[in-house]
Amino acid sequence: MQASILTSMDSKRLLKTFLDLVQIPSESGKEKPVTDYLVAKLKSLGLEVWVDDAGSKIGSNSGNIMGRLKGSLPGSIAFSSHQDTVVPGIGIKPQIADGIIRSDGTTILGADDKAGLACILEMFECIKDKPHPTIEVVFDICEEVGLRGAAQFDTSKLESKYSIILDVDGAPGRINIAAPYQDVCKIAIKGKPSHAGIAPDKGISAIEVASKAIASMKLGKIDDETTSNVGIISGGKATNIVPEECRIEMEARSRDEAKLNAQTKHMLDRFEEEAKKAGAAIEVSKERVFMGYKFSETDPLPSLVAQAAKDVGLKPQFVRSGGGSVSNIFNAKGLASVVVGVGFENPHSKDEFLRISDLEASANWVIRMVELVK
């Protein structure tokens, strides 16, 4: 094992980088200002840098960044954080009090995911002049609107076989080693309109069909690995018309693909059965939004990440998540990937905050991960 490089971490520099990043607007689809900053920064740190054309395909003014710092030591590792933020993310004014960073209350803070970006940049600052393995980065766009940038990224361009995504809320030390598959379904039911007061029996209520189907479904938490939800319902034109149409959008998730297939089929079958009983027509579309993944705690990648956490005084916490992330996309593309916590709390809200101590701990964690690569 090489000598530790943790002493190189500069807390003031790390904090300044984070504060600079959050003040650069980069709402989803409008990432170019932060892309320009990151490209310039990575080049100044000695990386080869590329920006792909993903933005032209998904409606962004920028692209995914890929960078590579060739190493003098064996091995390689990739890190990733996303460039974009949710709204409202323009005009962020970070405030620091009692060791905690918040916005001024009119915007998000943007620590999701600029805490991750700052930690990765600080890692490069620390190792650029020291022996190190090859280190690669992917900074994706449009993560907050469906992982769309990562979906466009060509992982075959990476030399690394392992990647670590810095993009989980909560204290550093959290390691997501499993995440679900997800299906999203859209259903359109077409009944028959009639006057609701004069001839209700001559109509077929699309809303009633949907209601009966939904009422008969297993929804919510199905088991420890599986959930489902009917999220959107719309239909009808007036109170005096038996509704001809009803549209429903719903999802199911499971960390077990067979369980997901069964749950999705169950939900769609209920709509088909109720439509048939009522004599209504039905149209169904189903999309596998992302694939799931599972690691054991003793697999090489989780083991490295957990050992690095222990080495810098963090307690590793292995988590099996119910949400999706860039790790789902990368694992599906054949790039082994876990997602780790970087300390931000209350993301996607004006109450978002980040403890400076957690930012520093996360940066040390990333540096130690690099040290352990063989």
Q: Which residues have a catalytic role annotated?
A: 84, 143
Distance of CA 46 to the CA centre of its chain: 28
E strands of 141-244, at which residues? 162-168, 174-179, 181-190, 220-223, 226-235
Token pair in block for residue 104: 């001024």
Q: Residue ranges of the alpha helices (H) in the chain?
A: 11-22, 32-44, 54-58, 111-127, 148-152, 206-215, 257-278, 300-311, 326-332, 356-372
CB 279 within 8 A of CB 272: no
Q: What is the dihedral of CA 159, 292, 294, 228, to 10 degrees?
A: 160
Backbone torsions φ then ψ of 301, nearest 5 degrees: -70, -55
Q: How far is CA 36 from the centre of its chain?
A: 22
Gap between the terminal Cα atoms of the chain: 9
Q: Which tokens is 142 given? A: 């449009």
Name the DSSP class of 9.
Answer: -
* Cα radius of gyration rounded to whole Å, the chain: 24
